[in-house]
Amino acid sequence: MNNFVFYNPTKLVFGKNTVEKIGEYLKKDKIKKVLFLAGGGSIKKNGVYEKVARALFESSIEKVEVLGVRPNPVLSKVKEALEVARREKVDAILAVGGGSVIDSAKAVAAGVNYDGDVWDFYSGKTRVKEAIPLYTILTLSATGTEMNGNSVVTNEETLEKFSFSSIHVYPKVSIVDPEVQYTLPPNQTVNGAVDAISHVMEYYFDGTRNTQLIDRVDEGIIKTLVETTEILLENPKDYEARANFALSTTLALNGISGMGHSGGDWSSHAIEHALSALNPEVAHGAGLAVVFPAWLTYVKDLISDKLVRFGMEIFGREDGISALKRWYKKIGAPTTLRELGFEREDIDKLVNIASKMTPMGRLKKLMKEDVRKILEIAF
């Protein structure tokens, strides 16, 4: 186990009837005006929009809205929201939605007082040095962004899907009410499960030795996601399953699952970003269901013992990769690039996009030809 420092400044407010509490937390922090950032569609159907609007009104908090954030969020929408936030001189950002909304909100929070292009944070030109406060209400459990400092956005002009991470954009308060996720379509629950499982596996398979305790924590998160996903596909309104699912996705990427590890591998995520950059209709979780098993196959000789342990602990079988792919198929997740609509000639494009991030990975440093071989396996 490696030395580590664990610090997470986000207050997690979890459970039934917690959405309405947002006004209390904002008022306590003396917030007067927020940028209300959201997708806009589902939150008006499931009642979340009305609850939030009422809570803000009752706490005398003014809001300006920017709606229409799409899955696989794009830089142009971030810049639109950033312009509104600056013009309206908001005190804080309130993100209501899933990972795409919250990731976009982090960029806005960091960019309000930055004189340059907000893309500078993603391209590595500069680091985030400050941000205005961010508050979140999660409506789709998947990415764990509600309790970390990570943000991923696509520059649609350059087809670059890059990320940044900063302690300054951890949400101050994140509200997670599992009941508001009852109406999610099955594919979003499936994609959320795959996304969270992939986050844990990035650490689990990064090659760090002697991490017995955190291995058991990670296995517990994955097993809970496997069990609750199957329950939710049968009964999406099972509260206990939904609550355990939601908490598992948060714990998958709030720092706990990587304690004592070497920072995770993350090459599967980098390769997947190429998929959804080239085709924004590809959900992040769906892309990871295809890429991660292919990466495991490519590097299996370096983690053979860990793969056996993974297979036995999670699925009761030694063939961990095959067992994982079988389970993905069982819940309706794709396992090949073909299922995502890619043709073999698309591999060259995907390699070129992904290779902007090479060398990538920690377990094995991947170069352009390694990426190609992994995508060939995935096809």
Please tell me the CATH superfamily of domain 184-378, with its number: Dehydroquinate synthase-like - alpha domain (1.20.1090.10)
Residue position matching structure tokens 């990670």? 218
Domain ranges for the chain: 11-179, 184-378
Q: Are strands 150-155 and 160-165 parallel, antiparallel or unpaired?
A: antiparallel
Per-residue model confidence as pLDDT tens digits over 171-214: 999 999 999 999 999 999 999 999 999 999 999 999 999 999 99
pLDDT digits (tens, 9 = 90+) for 235-279: 999 999 999 999 999 999 999 999 999 999 999 999 999 999 999
Please provide the size of the chain in residues. Answer: 379
Alpha-helical segments (H) within the chain: 22-28, 42-45, 48-58, 75-88, 99-111, 119-123, 186-204, 212-234, 239-251, 267-278, 284-299, 304-310, 320-331, 346-354, 368-378
In words, the CATH class of domain 11-179 is alpha beta
Residue 207 to residue 225: CA distance in whole angstroms? 23
334-374 per-position pLDDT tens digit? 999 999 999 999 999 999 999 988 899 999 999 999 999 99
Give the residue-averaged pLDDT of 213-224.
98
